[in-house]
């Protein structure tokens, strides 16, 4: 499968709601949250009016002309907030495209884009038991806080020499 990573197009912005739902780690496939969860006040800021704020940035993963994943960030006080002007990111792939290295390539591309824009750091939140946590550690994120089973992680973009 040929992977193309590119900026999201204006017409594709509605897909962010789908990817936000995919970004919610749900280990039990028989007990999934309703899709409407992405419209709750806690999650809405991740996608609402995306592209309208300075610093909004989104790359998509495209395979065979279809968008199959997205990595995006914006400055919000979300679950992974670590400081003023530090954007928080989200990343997700449709389940059938996971485990192929696409997430790693997509996230690396977003980190490079943010670094090129002069961004000093980026943050996220992840459930400690979520397999994606290992990816974040490999790419240079470090845990800066823990709340229950959730890690708040930060990647300082100026010092990426140790990241794979």
Residue-range definition of the domain harbouring residue 42? 3-156
- DSSP string across 60-108: EEEETTEEEEEEEEE---STT--STT--EEEEEE-GGGTTSSHHHHHHH
**Is residue 164 predicted with pLDDT exceeding 60?**
no
Please give the average per-residue pLDDT across 77-106, as a whole number.
94
In a domain, 162, yes or no: no
In a domain, 50, yes or no: yes
In a domain, 111, yes or no: yes
In a domain, 163, yes or no: no
Q: Which pLDDT belongs to residue 159?
A: 55
**Is residue 39 predicted with pLDDT exceeding 60?**
yes
In a domain, 65, yes or no: yes
Beta strands in the chain, from DSSP E residues, in sequence order: 3-7, 57-63, 66-74, 88-93, 121-127, 142-147, 150-156
Q: Write out pLDDT tens, residues 51-84.
A: 999 999 999 999 999 999 999 999 999 999 999 9
- Could you tell me which residues come within 8 angstroms of residue 144 by beta carbon, excluding any fewer than 6 positions away? 82, 123, 152, 153, 154
Q: Write out pLDDT tens, residues 112-125.
A: 999 999 999 999 99
- Domain of 46, CATH number, reads 3.40.630.30
Q: Which pLDDT belongs to residue 161?
A: 44
Residue with tokens 């400690």: 128
Q: Write out pLDDT tens, residues 125-163.
A: 999 999 999 999 999 999 999 999 999 999 999 754 445
Q: What is the spatial distance between Cα 75 and Cα 147, in angstroms, rounded to a whole number?
A: 21
In a domain, 164, yes or no: no
How many domains does the chain divide into?
A: 1
Question: To the nearest whole percent, how much of the chain has pLDDT over 90?
Answer: 90
Q: Which pLDDT belongs to residue 162?
A: 45
Q: Which pLDDT belongs to residue 29?
A: 84
Q: What's the pTM?
A: 0.92
In a domain, 69, yes or no: yes
Max Cα-Cα span within the chain: 43
pLDDT band for 91, please (50, 70, 90 cuts): very high
Q: What is the spatial distance between Cα 52 and Cα 118, in angstroms, rounded to a whole number?
A: 19
């Amino acid at each position: 499968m040929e992977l193309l990573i590119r900026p999201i197009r204006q017409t594709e912005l509605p897909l962010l709601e789908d990817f936000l739902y995919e970004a919610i780690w749900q280990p039990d496939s028989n007990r999934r949250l309703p899709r409407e969860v992405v419209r709750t006040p806690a999650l809405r800021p991740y996608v609402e009016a995306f592209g309208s704020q300075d610093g909004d940035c989104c790359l998509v993963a495209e395979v065979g002309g279809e968008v199959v994943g997205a990595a995006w960030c914006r400055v919000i006080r979300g679950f992974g907030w670590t400081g003023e002007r530090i954007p928080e990111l989200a990343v997700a792939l449709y389940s059938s495209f996971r485990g192929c290295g696409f997430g790693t390539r997509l996230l690396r591309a977003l980190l490079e884009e943010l670094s090129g824009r002069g961004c000093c750091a980026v943050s996220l939140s992840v459930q400690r038991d979520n397999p994606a946590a290992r990816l974040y550690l490999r790419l240079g994120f470090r845990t800066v806080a823990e709340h229950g089973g959730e890690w708040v992680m930060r990647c300082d973009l100026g010092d990426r020499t140790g990241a794979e």
